[in-house]
A and B are shown apart, each in its own frame.
Chain A
């Protein structure tokens, strides 16, 4: 049997298991097992041992320790009053910008995204306060919904990001490098979103209510005083990352410490909120680490079968233009994103797609940001865009209505992908400048 047939059989088994609702972590390991048993010449005595060592080595990892800590950090801040404070703190500054308070959604998601690594949590946290406030003041609800659905995905693009940690582990890339690579695309995306809101507001001035109060600079600072600790935490984390004082894992530990301090200072740190945040973070990490463990075994099997190498060589032999390959992959990930969540998408494809991309001459860090942007698209596209589901649950509106409201912002995401593809420096400049060019 040749490599193509083996690959198709394994792919078929995987699709059947996934559609049957078998949990993704177990599916990955099972497909790995089938491949190992039937399509490699590994002796039977080593199957179990390979399974054990792939799973154990994937989980007993010092680098992976950053994952539960970053998740916990977001969980702690999720349980504080940060979202209420975000709105009242940002509002006074936006009075003169076209679109006014509408920008709180983008800025709020951007700021919360830089302490949280989850798109759904970012979207839910900011929407909880911004939606009723904007509605009460008479802002256009469609724009608010669309911007929240899409800007919520900034949570996974602006570091720290759970998705990026997973990608870095799956791709054997440096977590810090990929975090650094996320900053400029994150700002670009925020600028595009805010730009659209501004442009829309200038064209529809009657739909943007006038805000009465004009505050002095001092009053503004006073109104945003609650945001200062969180801003300091963000600045501190970025500084530690950029200056190279700490590893990603240590940085995550500082982040948890800072979040605990913020929660304590705002009198929101109770035993209940502490234990809930820790248990929540534990469960999310267990889930992700088990997926990574299953994928580690599949990756091992794949290496034995030689499928990724052959596929990479085949793609290479087609002499595709790099843009054509990227276009094909974009299409592939968007299809995948209609059925799978972002983390599963990345882990599922890493073993096969990454060697191919690398062989075609793409930088793995750049590709990581590219994939994160595609995952962001997946979060806002039906039928299983998770942010749509979050907002549907919070507002009672049909998810297709929300998806429609998100279309202009969705286009901004696509534009960001185009820009990042044409000017890869947007991604690579900051990590290269701070950490030196990778060999």
Chain B
């Protein structure tokens, strides 16, 4: 069950990556079309929506992978027992807010769906379609934080800690800015 959840969360990481790749392709396409003298008006809107999709779909995967930055100074030196308590507190606070965030964006996008808002740019599609990325992305983040919370309560090391330790042990710092 939990394994399947992780598969879904990581699959959305791949979806997010596909949108990064999509941004690359659309940007290149637009650049070449511009050189060839063609109109590329709508590409800006598409790139914006794809960027948002890349940002939101991958949130849970990024979180699990330990790439969300936090201030380690306060908690990393704690004894294992206190560290566990600190992780629980951080996950409860973070998870609660992620849940609120999901609720807020859903309520708003639901309104946008009900009223049939249409995008004002050059591509007149319904606004809720690109906006689904933030609804789904924040939902997955919320679920992922709850999942990690239960893992820590059961006494496991959270994925986001294990992933970073494993990566740095390999000498891979490519994901640290």
Contacts and interface: CB of A to CB of B under 8 A. Distances in A.
Interface stretch (B1-9, B149-157, B169-177): B169-177
Contacts of B72: 21, 384
Contact of B177 (A25, A162, A249, A279): A162
B69 A23 contact: yes
Given A17-B93, A26-B94, A283 B175 contact: yes
A286 B67 contact: yes
A286 B65 CA distance: 11
A387 to B, nearest CB: 9
A415 B17 CA distance: 41
B74 A68 contact: no
Contacts of A423: none
Interface string B58-94: 1101110101111111110000000000110110011
A283 B65 contact: yes
Give the interface centre of B14, B30, B44, B58 by most chain A CB atoms within 10 Å: B58
A24 B70 contact: yes
Interface in A24-40: 24-26, 29-30, 33
A14 B161 CA distance: 22
Given A249-B47, A286-B59, A290-B59, A65 B23 contact: yes
Contacts of A290: 55, 59, 62, 68
A390 B174 contact: no
Contacts of A369: none
**A123, A128, A256, A283 pick with most chain B CB within 10 angstroms:** A283
Contacts of A119: 177
B27 interface: yes
Among A60, A286, A339, max chain B CB count under 10 A is at A286
Contacts of B129: none
A118 B69 CA distance: 15
Nearest to B103: A48
A52 B133 CA distance: 12
Q: Is the interface of A mostly helix, strand, loop or mixed?
A: helix
Contacts of B103: 48
B52 A59 contact: yes
B177 A60 contact: no
Contacts of A53: 108
B55 to A, nearest CB: 4
Q: How large is the interface on B (under 10, 10 to 19, 20 to 34, 35 or more residues)?
A: 35 or more
B24 A62 contact: no
Interface string A231-275: 000000000000000100110111011000000000000000001
A249 B20 contact: no
Nearest to B98: A26
B17 A48 contact: no
Contacts of B65: 283
Contacts of B24: 69, 72, 253, 256
Contacts of B174: 74-75, 78-79, 118, 121, 124, 280
A343 B107 contact: no
A114 interface: no
Contact of B90 (A22, A29, A64, A291): A22
B71 A60 contact: no
Given A69-B27, A120-B173, A59 B56 contact: yes
A282 B104 contact: no
Contact of A278 (B17, B63, B73, B94): B17
B95 to A, nearest CB: 9
B108 A48 contact: yes
A65 B21 contact: no
Interface string B106-125: 01110000000000000000
Interface of A: 17-26, 29-30, 33, 47-49, 51-53, 55-56, 59-62, 64-65, 68-69, 72, 74-75, 78-79, 117-121, 123-124, 128, 156, 162-163, 246, 249-250, 252-254, 256-257, 275, 278-291, 293, 339-344, 383-384, 386, 390, 393-394
17 contacts: A19-B74, A21-B74, A21-B90, A23-B94, A24-B68, A47-B104, A49-B104, A52-B134, A59-B55, A59-B56, A60-B52, A61-B51, A69-B23, A285-B55, A286-B58, A290-B55, A383-B73
Given A29-B97, A65-B23, A293-B55, 12 more contacts: A19-B71, A19-B75, A21-B74, A65-B27, A65-B50, A250-B27, A283-B67, A283-B175, A286-B67, A290-B68, A341-B177, A344-B69
